[in-house]
Structure 1
Amino acid sequence: MCFEKCTKYIAVALIPLAVLCVLADLLLYFPNGEIQFAINNKLTNFVWFFEGIVGAGLLVISSSVMFTCLEKTVSCGCYGNAECGSGCSMLCWLLIVLIGIGGSGYCFIVAALALTEGPYCLTSRGWRYPFANSFGSYLFDPSVWRTCTEPANIVLWNGTLFSALLALSGMEFILCLVQLINGMLVGLCGNCNCWKQTVEPA
């Protein structure tokens, strides 16, 4: 597939994923639609890492927009042939891809850590992380969820949203990785437009 087409498809796919990550992250601040837990700092520390808003959200959206802006100027990769594009543009494109990979990867790691540690909630022993040493096994045992009394249903709330962030950022990471491989192939083999210029008679 041509570099431009692949870039366009990936950029279009990344935007809704990034928007969903932002929405999922925002919901983590308001368990059951209540704001007092955020005001009183009674949320898991991982929500303050802004993994969905900044990492898999703004950084990925920025990368997606810049993909579209640079898709026509990236080097075709014809081994120094100036007519096929600029190496400087390819370097800029590579940095943009790495931003997307970094943002989505950051969100993926933080979401995984948050799921492993579990929610910060009120228990019979006060506010604590009751599942911190369970290595995520609590997610598959609903009978222990009642350990948390406040916020209500916090295990299900956090588990669902962090799992969504994990899945969405994972898809973003894969798409950015495909874009990286696409660009590397372009650099090694040349864009289809370059091949057309080479193969088609003048």
Structure 2
Amino acid sequence: MCSGGFAKCLGISLMPLAMVCVLCNILLFFPAGHTVDSEHITDEVWYFGGLLGSGVLMIFPALVFLGLKNNDCCGCCGNESCGRRFAMLSSILFAGVGVLGAGYSVIISAVAINKGPKCNINATTHDDWIYPFVDSNYLSDHIIWSKCVEPVGVVSWHLSLFAVLLVMGLSQMVLCAVQVINGLLGALCGDCCGAGSPDAA
């Protein structure tokens, strides 16, 4: 497969991952499916790791990768081969943006999972919203999840969505890193390494 076609496959893979990350970030604003006051939402949700990092910032490189196969750039004084090589080289910059965006999402997700959700621990007054698991190993001790009295099920909701963001972000970083290598090969060898024509599929 030529570098342009391979980049298109990477772009196709990145688009659904970005959509999933955006959806996860939106769902995190509704802990366990409940509507709560904004100050009761976990801080890391407001950092928009999935919405911006793995979402919006990932759409740009995905669109660039999708267009590389059919790129008809004529740069370098009308030399088509040179134009295609430049397009592949420029895709490395967008891949770098993708790595940074996904990396941001991964860091936010890891911090959120380690810290745990913000929840109410007082069933009587309903106004004691804290991070009850900051100093505990709640990931391996499910019994202490009962400290969160509301929203009901917020711990599993928090862990599940941030875990998805973490995995999606890591996957995006790998795909963008692969495009960096693919872009270098495309810039050095042309759209099809070993092919006699730059237009070869």
Please classify the TM superposition score into its range, dividing by the shorter chain length: 0.7 to 0.9
TM-score (normalizing by structure 2): 0.84
Classify 1:91/1:189 alpha carbon distance in 2 versus 1 (closer, same or farther; 3 Å).
closer
- Structure 2 residue 46 is matched with structure 1 residue 48: yes
Partner of 2:132: 130
1:89 to 87, 90, 97: 87
Classify 1:74/1:146 alpha carbon distance in 2 versus 1 (closer, same or farther; 3 Å).
farther
- Structure 2 residue 113 is matched with structure 1 residue 111: no
3-state secondary structure, aligned to 2:129: strand
Classify 1:108/1:74 alpha carbon distance in 2 versus 1 (closer, same or farther; 3 Å).
farther
Q: Which runs of 4+ in 1 moved over 4 A?
A: none
3-state secondary structure, aligned to 2:196: helix
Alpha-carbon distance in structure 1 between the residues aligned to 2:99 and 2:72: 19
Mapping 1:49-198, distance limit 5 Å: 49-73=47-71, 82-86=79-83, 88-124=86-122, 126-134=128-136, 137-192=137-192, 195-197=195-197
Identify the range of structure 1 (125-134 vs 4-13) with the bigger mean alpha-carbon deviation.
Answer: 125-134
The runs of 5 or more residues in structure 1 that have no matched partner are 76-81
Identify the range of structure 1 (122-131 vs 158-167) with the bigger mean alpha-carbon deviation.
Answer: 122-131
Which one-letter code corresponds to 1:20 in the other structure?
Answer: V
Aligned Cα RMSD in Å?
2.5
3-state secondary structure, aligned to 2:120: strand
Identify the range of structure 1 (172-181 vs 183-192) with the bigger mean alpha-carbon deviation.
Answer: 183-192
Classify 1:189/1:94 alpha carbon distance in 2 versus 1 (closer, same or farther; 3 Å).
same
3-state secondary structure, aligned to 2:40: coil
Partner of 1:6: 6
- Number of positions where the alignment pairs a residue of Structure 1 with one of Structure 2: 190
User: What percent identity do the matched residue pairs reach?
Assistant: 37
Alpha-carbon distance in structure 2 between the residues aligned to 1:13 and 1:83: 27
Identify the range of structure 1 (168-177 vs 61-70) with the bigger mean alpha-carbon deviation.
Answer: 61-70
3-state secondary structure, aligned to 2:138: helix
CA contact (8 A) 2:22 2:50 kept: yes
Shift of 1:91: 4.6
TM-score (normalizing by structure 1): 0.84
